[in-house]
Structure 1
Amino acid sequence: MAKKVAIIGAGPGGLATAMRLLANGYQVDIFEKNSVIGGRTSRLSLGNYFFDMGPSSLTMPHQLTSLFMNSNRNLHDYLTLLPIDPLYRLFFPSGKTFAPSGDQKATLNELNRVFPGNEMNFYRFMSGNAKKILYLTPLLDYSFGSLKDFVRPTMLRAIPSLSIGRTLIDETSKYFEDEELQLAFTFQMKYMGMSPWEIPGIYSVLPFSEYYYGSFHPTGGQSQILQAMKTVIEEYHGQIHLNAAVAKVNTSKHEITGIELRDGRLVQADHYIMNADLSYAVKNLFVTEKPLKFKNKMAQKKYSASAFVIYLGLDTLLPVDHQTVLFPKNYKVHADETTNLKVLSDDFSIHITNPSVTDTTMAPIGHSAVRIMVSVPNNESQIDWDQEREPFRNKILDTVKAKLHLEDLEEHIVEERVITPKEWEKDFHIHLGAIFGMMQSFRQIGMGNPVNKLHKQFKNLFVVGTSAHTGTSLPYIMESAKYAVNKIIKKDLQNIQTPD
């Protein structure tokens, strides 16, 4: 009889886990509190305009291809991936603009135009990180929740490539002297809610991945990746229960005994997958005889930045690229104010996503569905967003209009929604509104990650998603699903008893 698995949360981690489990013969039920799948990665609809609430692009598409192949499916039967070119257009304080491409020859031409004399430095960066990612990829098969993971041969071979004791800025400055060019290879850390002056140098593989693999936009938006996963799950007869919020996770000393839904239903399974925000779940869902040993320590962890996001439906085709980044005069000050001082910056970085220039399904023809995002402190800041929402929104739009010469921008607004850290926490159950989870530092990954402590206490519980693995982007979330499923399969094989 097929083993039963209950998954809490229909985000990309939960859906990827379900696909892999179903392909291996498990019976899977997913319980999602919302009326749609995706959580913070879902689609937002405002009239005839459609927006991705989560990632603005997909890189490392081979990871997605691998997921579908594991389910005996061809990704391209479910999705059409459109290349984003240029990757983004970066506007620097000096007045320079830089628009790299997924085509390395085009990037070199652009590099020579804007930052001449750096061609060999780019080659060194790419070759150095190609080697790094080869050594690091096998490490994703381990949790590093115990000392033995640190002395495995794969780990020992990788040590010279781990950039131990170096920040990302330290690592990037080995290749590029120009500070604005360094930003072009480090600003991607805003996708993790962290500062390149603090995040470990190992994360240089993330900008490398964009420059090497390119970035892609699925027709219909990034949320269509989740719809494709949902289709495969349904083809395997997996069950996705919407509007099915989990109220309690019941436990015994060493395992999960069941989950209780808000409507009173009880669900029992052989294995349980947590794809909810980990800090929220630990604080609100677990019912235990004794308090979780690490529960109080969760509050002492450092959490990522949040985001102030403006979604605009415009009755004109905005004349900007698919992705645009406007840098402040001093990016380091902005990063420090956001992640450490936890105050609103007077001068900030702005990320504009305008998928309508690539995909005409996101808005009516000749119109634009635009997302404008600014990194802001998480809710440890105690910022009163009810008071700050309108003035900060106006300041962002004024900055966009001035820097991009879009003086009539607001005259074209047909639809609008603003999401602040307050809504990220209240409506999406994200602890502190920290949309990228805990900060990815050496102290908070591996043995310092509460995920490993949770699994040690409850042997039939596995965590997937942004909290589970190094990296918060979709490819690494899918890796967390692969890791969890491999552990479940291995555990069940070990538990098979020889018939009498």
Structure 2
Amino acid sequence: MTNKTKIAIIGAGPGSLATAMLLSQLDYEVSIYEKNDRIGGRTALHKMGKYSFDIGPSALTMTHVLTSLFMDCKRDILDYVSLLPINPIHTLYFKDISFPLFSDQASTKKVIATYFPGEEYGFDRFMRENTKKMLYLTPLNQFNYSSLFDFFRPTTLRALPSLTLGRSLMDDLARYFNSKHLRLAFSLQMRYLGMSPWDIPASYSIIPFSEYYYGTYHPIGGQNKIVEAMQQVITENKGKLFFNSEVTEFEIDDKKITGAKLANGQVIEADYYFTNLDFIHSMTTEKTNKADTKEYSSSAFMLYLGLNKEFPFSHQSIIFPSDYRKFSINTMHKKILSKDLAVHITNPSATDNTMAPINHSSIRIMVPVPNNSSQIDWKKETKEFRQLVLDTVKDRLDVPDLEDFIEEEFIITPKDWEEKYHIKHGAVFGLQHVWSQHGFLHLSKKTPNYKNLFVIGAGAMTGSSLPYIIENAQIATKKFLQKEKKSK
């Protein structure tokens, strides 16, 4: 390709890296501009002394999507990343009962039969019916849904019965499980999507389903190893990454971006630009106002602990409050802090001995909390809330001496998510996953119609997990190639 088409990508998160992989593989001149000194965004590595932590995602499912991305670039993902199965997927701690669930369906069925006799047949139906649902819904991820007409595609119409419109996830799970414990066990959506299972549409049952169907994995060294592998492919394809290069504004001429201005005053010129939606929010007051009217997910209070002792926790432990619905209402609707918490604990040392020294543990604790539209003063609340979180873990996991072994500690509050990571309202899971914010109604489809701009990343669609971010990058790349073809 002579006089290569120049592509400028703003940000070095997974969506940007996936896009850069695909376009550099096609021999476009690709440059990524990242405001921080490292790749990954929320998928980055955080080091504290001899302890390593994933800032964000803690497990990977639907690995075929990642495999497909590397195959599109004529690579084998296993040449870059070693994936270990997580088993059990998680251990669930209720006030009156605790039990593990496994990615192996036969093992999970056996656990259910032991603790909830007869309910194992509901699990069989859940898996069987969601297999069909996944078959119909997966092709929908390949569409851009930038207009109402996309909803009338034959593929979309065939999938309509599987969308179970008008039904919440919790309503749907009542069709399979009589036990409230199992309904909660299969509706861990506060963790995945920052919403209440009583609010989220029933179609999202495919997310807990995917853990048992596709399995759940941990890359040796942490989730950050995935973005490092993506960076390596980009570098092999002669793509370029520029760090400490924050884009502050676009220069516009006749609905076309003519340059991206960096904080140091330098102007980057390219033929096409790819960027994250959070940056679009800051472009105009009008766009900010539109963003303020949308419904956002919960935020998260994060506690990262380097412990000089090996604790016998599963890779993932979920602590449930006595009244999960009350907790959800407090978090999502009343936007107040609860005293009885839902807590997600990640202990990668249970699977991977590279995250902490031998006989030590790198523990990450996540608690869903209201986003910053709540006006909670985290400077005032952090100390007391941190202690409440630790007391909850010590009590419910029966580790009264936990604090005695803290060697390193790091906290991220909702205020930090907003100020340091530039996430609207600190809502780490983006917009709420409701029908009024899907498809062509999603804010990313309402962005200024610049001729050479494409929106990518977690904020560009409804669904913030890595597989959906990669699929969105593939959609954006396909859309770009169609436009590029027409322009020639």
Smaller-chain TM-score range?
over 0.9
1:226 is displaced (CA, Å) by 0.4
1:58 is displaced (CA, Å) by 0.3
Report the AA paired with residue 323 of structure 1: Q
Aligned residue in 2 for 1:83: 85
1:269 is displaced (CA, Å) by 1.3
User: In structure 2, what is the Cα distance between the partners aligned to 1:334 and 1:360?
Assistant: 34
CA contact (8 A) 1:145 1:447 kept: yes
Structure 1 unaligned blocks of 5 or more: none
When normalised by structure 2's length, the TM-score is 0.98
Aligned residue in 1 for 2:205: 204
Report the AA paired with residue 86 of structure 1: P
CA contact (8 A) 1:309 1:371 kept: yes
Q: Does 1:67 align with 2:94?
A: no
CA contact (8 A) 1:311 1:417 kept: yes
CA contact (8 A) 2:442 2:462 kept: no
Matches for 1:19-30 after TM superposition, within 5 Å = 19-30=21-32
Matches for 1:59-458 after TM superposition, within 5 Å = 59-93=61-95, 95-275=96-276, 278-279=277-278, 281-284=279-282, 286=283, 292=286, 294-454=287-447, 457-458=449-450
User: In structure 1, what is the Cα distance between the partners aligned to 2:108 and 2:138?
Assistant: 25
After superposition, the C-alpha distances for 1:196-220 in whole angstroms (9 at most, x for unaligned) are: 1111111111000011111100000
* SS of 1:243 mapped into structure 2: coil
After superposition, the C-alpha distances for 1:105-159 in whole angstroms (9 at most, x for unaligned) are: 1111111111210122111111111111111111112222212101110011111
Size of the aligned set, in residue pairs, is 486
* SS of 2:447 mapped into structure 1: helix
CA contact (8 A) 2:339 2:388 kept: no
* SS of 2:111 mapped into structure 1: helix
CA contact (8 A) 2:431 2:462 kept: no
1:463 is displaced (CA, Å) by 1.2
When normalised by structure 1's length, the TM-score is 0.95
1:296 is displaced (CA, Å) by 1.8
* SS of 1:443 mapped into structure 2: helix
User: In structure 1, what is the Cα distance between the partners aligned to 2:139 and 2:155?
Assistant: 7
User: In structure 1, what is the Cα distance between the partners aligned to 2:461 and 2:376?
Assistant: 30
Structure 2 unaligned blocks of 5 or more: none
CA contact (8 A) 1:192 1:436 kept: yes
Residue in structure 1 matching 2:453, options 456, 461, 464: 461
Report the AA paired with residue 343 of structure 2: I
User: In structure 2, what is the Cα distance between the partners aligned to 1:4 and 1:53?
Assistant: 32
User: In structure 1, what is the Cα distance between the partners aligned to 2:395 and 2:22?
Assistant: 48
User: In structure 2, what is the Cα distance between the partners aligned to 1:367 and 1:383?
Assistant: 34
User: In structure 1, what is the Cα distance between the partners aligned to 2:408 and 2:400?
Assistant: 18
1:98 is displaced (CA, Å) by 2.3
1:295 is displaced (CA, Å) by 3.9
* SS of 2:102 mapped into structure 1: coil
1:68 is displaced (CA, Å) by 0.5
User: In structure 1, what is the Cα distance between the partners aligned to 2:141 and 2:253?
Assistant: 30
* SS of 2:400 mapped into structure 1: coil
1:192 is displaced (CA, Å) by 1.1
User: In structure 1, what is the Cα distance between the partners aligned to 2:442 and 2:34?
Assistant: 25
After superposition, the C-alpha distances for 1:61-109 in whole angstroms (9 at most, x for unaligned) are: 111110101111110000000110000000113x212211111111111
CA contact (8 A) 2:281 2:288 kept: yes
Aligned residue in 1 for 2:466: 474
User: In structure 2, what is the Cα distance between the partners aligned to 1:24 and 1:166?
Assistant: 43
CA contact (8 A) 1:469 1:479 kept: no
Q: Does 1:6 align with 2:4?
A: no
1:348 is displaced (CA, Å) by 1.2
* SS of 2:460 mapped into structure 1: coil
1:252 is displaced (CA, Å) by 3.0
User: In structure 1, what is the Cα distance between the partners aligned to 2:462 and 2:410?
Assistant: 32
User: In structure 2, what is the Cα distance between the partners aligned to 1:152 and 1:85?
Assistant: 40
CA contact (8 A) 2:313 2:347 kept: yes
* SS of 2:295 mapped into structure 1: coil
CA contact (8 A) 2:42 2:55 kept: yes
User: In structure 2, what is the Cα distance between the partners aligned to 1:117 and 1:210?
Assistant: 22
1:179 is displaced (CA, Å) by 1.1
* SS of 2:435 mapped into structure 1: coil
Report the aligned-residue RMSD: 1.2
CA contact (8 A) 1:8 1:246 kept: yes
1:251 is displaced (CA, Å) by 2.1
1:470 is displaced (CA, Å) by 3.0
Taking structure 1 as reference, are residues 298 and 253 closer, same or farther at Cα in structure 2, changes over 3 Å only? farther
CA contact (8 A) 2:119 2:178 kept: no
